[in-house]
Amino acid sequence: QSFGEYSRLITFLETLLTMIWYPTTVATLSRRTRQIVEDAFDASADKESYWKIGSRLHDFGFRGCTTLEQSVVGGSAHLLSFDGSDTMSACYYVQFELNGGKPIATSIPATEHSVMTSWKTEKEAILNMMNQFGKGVYA
């Protein structure tokens, strides 16, 4: 609680701190996760596969955000440590506002439940993906 002549200032500063809590928490968790991933790669993967590290934690956070702005802030914080993201608002912002138009985020063609169930069988859905995207990475 705050009392006296500085009580309004304290309330204002607390409000500002809540605004930086979200991006700093996302950035910290992403960085710590990246360190775990790097340690796991060091212990178990060939050096030739290290290019995959940046995509091991993919951001789908836009779905859970309450505002467009929140998706940009949290998604941008994630992109400090990883390049995999489907949070297009953050990808666009980072590419065009912070990185001179150069892309920083990546993604892959991926299915989701409604796409898979639109086919008669799962095999047909997978064969369609293979026909559409050929070689490469997709999920």
For residue 37, the model assigns a pLDDT of 98
Q: H or E segment at 103?
A: none
d(CA 111, CA 114): 8
Which tens digits make up the pLDDT trace of 4-45?
888 889 889 999 998 899 999 999 999 999 999 999 999 999
Residues sharing a CB contact under 8 Å with residue 2, sequence separation 6 or more, in sequence order:
10, 11
What are the φ/ψ torsions at residue 101 (nearest 5 degrees)? 90, -5
3-state secondary structure of 11: helix
3-state secondary structure of 85: strand
pTM of the model: 0.82
Which tens digits make up the pLDDT trace of 77-128?
999 999 999 999 999 999 999 999 999 999 988 877 777 888 999 899 989 9
For residue 1, the model assigns a pLDDT of 62
Residues sharing a CB contact under 8 Å with residue 128, sequence separation 6 or more, in sequence order:
119
